[in-house]
Chains A and B, each alone.
Chain A
Amino acid sequence: MRTTNEINQSPLDIIRQNKEVERRVNFIKAIFLDIFFVFYSVLVVQRAIYYKFILDLRDIPFSWEGILLVFIISVVISVCWTFTRTSISCKLFGVAKNNKVTKWTVEIFGWFLFNITFIAGWIITKLSIVDLFSSEGLQGAERLFGALFRPEFGIFDDALFAMIETIYIALLATLISIPITLLLSFFTARNLMKSSKFTFAVYYVLRLVLNFIRSIEPLIWAIIFSVWVGIGPFAGMIALLVHTIASNAKLYSEAIEGIEQGPVEAITATGANKVQVVWYAVVPQIVLPFLSFTIYRWDINVRMATIIGLVGGGGIGTMLMQYQGLARWHEVGLIVLMIALVVWVMDYVSAKIREAIY
């Protein structure tokens, strides 16, 4: 906290100084962003467009020295460019000169970036109309679709049990996630945690961990847990659980961050402590969104549980994988049909429930 003296001397100076500092910081940010833009464009043009497309090389020459050279050249060019204050990053960070040159460079370079990115994407994905409509490929597709649309009902009993297993995997993952997510969400809501340095540190670390967990797909978690606890429904359930906690903690905490501040202010003003403020002013505002997110997540988990089965997470997915491996497309057809049906019903039911509670 500033002392009285400092304030009395020059509050306006402080404001002015802050603005100057902000401008400098933005300029430095602009330098880095310009380096990135230029380095990126040179690399894409050289490697994707020139080597791969124009020269059509099979093995693209690669050496770290070459990359370093490109980087140094990019740095030199972009720093010069930034200092003219007409670059695209200067514009983005609001430190550009307001003239015609800036306007033109921003427009031209913006288009250039967009186009080379699109072209590089085209080259890298090997986008090919010829492959899509080759007669050989079309025959294969015809054979497959023909089988899928004539499902084999002989395995219906097994498929039904596997489907039930999948639904329960999803349900249990969702149920167990609720209390854990609830607890976590309060500790990952910025507005509740920013008051002291310690709580903010907890908030920050928790967010980081949850972001990391969420960024790993449930499919990968299923692989990890099928090694950990063995292949089967338990591995699938726990994989879904982990991902559900991480995803819903974010949704829940965002709901907490989006609450109306008025009631919080009012309850704080009565002299209530932090726990009381949360219970009286925050919780009543988030009960409905929490319920809604959770039901929606159950719906998502049913869909994911089928996918997770593909890597040994149990349920209908595992069954699908087995028949696909044997190329028994009529059986695969039945399983796909059942999955589609269940997902459709879940989608409908969860939407109806969510409508009803709002």
Chain B
Amino acid sequence: MILKVNNLHKIYKNGTHALKGINFEVEKGEFLVIIGLSGSGKSTLLRCINRLIEPTAGTVEFLGENVTHVTGEELRKVKTQIGMVFQHFNLINRHSVLKNVISGKLGQLKTLNSIFGNFSEEIYDEAYRSLEIVGIREKADERADSLSGGQQQRVAIARSLMQSPKLLLADEPVASLDPATSNSVMQFFEKVNKEFGTTVICNLHFLSLVRRYATRVIALKAGEIIYEGQPKEINEEWFKTIYGDEAEEVEIR
């Protein structure tokens, strides 16, 4: 077991109760997809796992260790083992693609070296390899903001690969991409999952993508888990429960 989440609560300062006692476990090598409406707590949940957000109560166990209250150096060590990819890519626009990829390694570098851009040959090699995995090695020297959305997301994946992550979190990674690009980006997550055995937890909106890539699905509604199971078991009835009676399923291929 790589991750165990226990009775996790998050109450924001403004009083929003975003997570109301979340329990689930993730086995090594899984491709877990979390679905649910906007505001259901998906993003909060992911950020509580790598502590970009502090949970209000409950515990998160990563690789058998309780990491809910670790701080400082220890917390950074945990973070280096968890990669994260975001909806809006969150690259440094003014930096080159290569420098963006290398920034994934920051947690394992000395502060002074990273500030003066002193990177060893191995790190450059690793960065080029990561770019090769996502198929855009030739873009290494271009500015990050000159790339298309899909390419930027692939750079973001390459950046997280630099961490050699045990766990990869993806917060709606294809929500701002077109359907065709979405699918190709998802294929890279699949590749990382299958070839390197990296466990993936991914927030998604489109059920067609869920059915194709997920090995297991969790559905959130108003901060609670209302469904947990195989993607193919989500039928019409479940769909209406998760997304509300008005919703209709949209296919993307």
Which residues in A have some Cβ–Cβ distance to B below 8 Å?
1-4, 7-8, 11-12, 14-15, 18-19, 262-263, 265-273, 275-276, 279-281, 284-285, 287
Assembled-state Cα–Cα distance A262/B52 (Å): 11
B45-82: which residues lie under 8 A (CB-CB) from chain A? 50, 52, 54, 56-58, 76-82
B125-153: which residues lie under 8 A (CB-CB) from chain A? none
- Is the pair B15, A267 in contact by a Cβ cutoff of 8 Å? no
Quick one: given A1-B56, A275-B111, A276-B114, are A270 and B80 in contact (CB under 8 Å)? yes
Give the size category of B's interface with A. 35 or more
- Contacts A11-B20, A263-B91, A270-B163 known; list 18 others, CB within 8 Å: A1-B56, A14-B11, A14-B15, A15-B17, A262-B88, A262-B90, A266-B86, A267-B106, A270-B103, A270-B107, A271-B76, A271-B77, A271-B108, A272-B107, A276-B109, A284-B93, A285-B92, A285-B94
CB-CB under 8 A from A272, the residues of chain B are: 76, 103, 106-107, 114
Contact mask for chain B residues 84-111; partner A; CB cutoff 8 A; 1 contact, 0 none: 1010111111110000000111111101
Whether, in the assembled complex, B9 has its beta carbon less than 8 Å from a beta carbon of chain A, the answer is yes
> Can you show 18 pairs from A to B with CB atoms below 8 A apart?
A1-B54, A4-B57, A8-B57, A11-B17, A19-B15, A265-B52, A266-B86, A267-B103, A270-B159, A271-B76, A271-B107, A272-B103, A273-B111, A275-B111, A276-B106, A279-B114, A280-B106, A287-B94
CB-CB under 8 A from B106, the residues of chain A are: 267, 270-272, 276, 280
Assembled-state Cα–Cα distance A287/B95 (Å): 12
CB closest residue in chain B, given A272: B106
- Smallest distance from the beta carbon of A1 to chain B beta carbons, Å? 7
CB closest residue in chain B, given A19: B15
CB-CB under 8 A from B78, the residues of chain A are: 271
CB closest residue in chain A, given B94: A284
- Smallest distance from the beta carbon of B49 to chain A beta carbons, Å? 10
Assembled-state Cα–Cα distance A4/B103 (Å): 37
Whether, in the assembled complex, B23 has its beta carbon less than 8 Å from a beta carbon of chain A, the answer is no
Which residues in B have some Cβ–Cβ distance to A below 8 Å?
7, 9, 11, 15, 17, 20-21, 50, 52, 54, 56-58, 76-84, 86, 88-95, 103-109, 111, 114-115, 156, 159-160, 162-163
CB-CB under 8 A from A285, the residues of chain B are: 92-94
Quick one: given A270-B80, A272-B106, A276-B111, are A263 and B11 in contact (CB under 8 Å)? no
Number of A-B contacts (CB under 8 A): 107
Assembled-state Cα–Cα distance A27/B238 (Å): 47
CB closest residue in chain B, given A17: B15
Assembled-state Cα–Cα distance A11/B8 (Å): 13
- Is the pair A275, B52 in contact by a Cβ cutoff of 8 Å? no
Assembled-state Cα–Cα distance A18/B14 (Å): 9
CB-CB under 8 A from B81, the residues of chain A are: 271
CB-CB under 8 A from B76, the residues of chain A are: 271-273
- Is the pair B57, A269 in contact by a Cβ cutoff of 8 Å? no
CB-CB under 8 A from B162, the residues of chain A are: 270
- Is the pair A2, B57 in contact by a Cβ cutoff of 8 Å? yes
Partner of B90, one of A2, A11, A265, A287: A265
CB-CB under 8 A from B86, the residues of chain A are: 262, 265-266
Assembled-state Cα–Cα distance A19/B80 (Å): 39
- Smallest distance from the beta carbon of B69 to chain A beta carbons, Å? 9
CB-CB under 8 A from A19, the residues of chain B are: 15
CB-CB under 8 A from A279, the residues of chain B are: 114-115
Assembled-state Cα–Cα distance A285/B105 (Å): 20
Interface centre among A7, A14, A15, A271 (most CB of B within 10 A): A271
Assembled-state Cα–Cα distance A273/B103 (Å): 12
CB-CB under 8 A from A14, the residues of chain B are: 11, 15
Can you list the 7 inter-chain pairs with the closest CB atoms, starting with the nearest? A271-B107, A271-B80, A271-B79, A262-B90, A272-B106, A266-B90, A15-B15
- Smallest distance from the beta carbon of B70 to chain A beta carbons, Å? 12
- Is the pair A7, B79 in contact by a Cβ cutoff of 8 Å? no
- Smallest distance from the beta carbon of A5 to chain B beta carbons, Å? 9
- Smallest distance from the beta carbon of B11 to chain A beta carbons, Å? 6
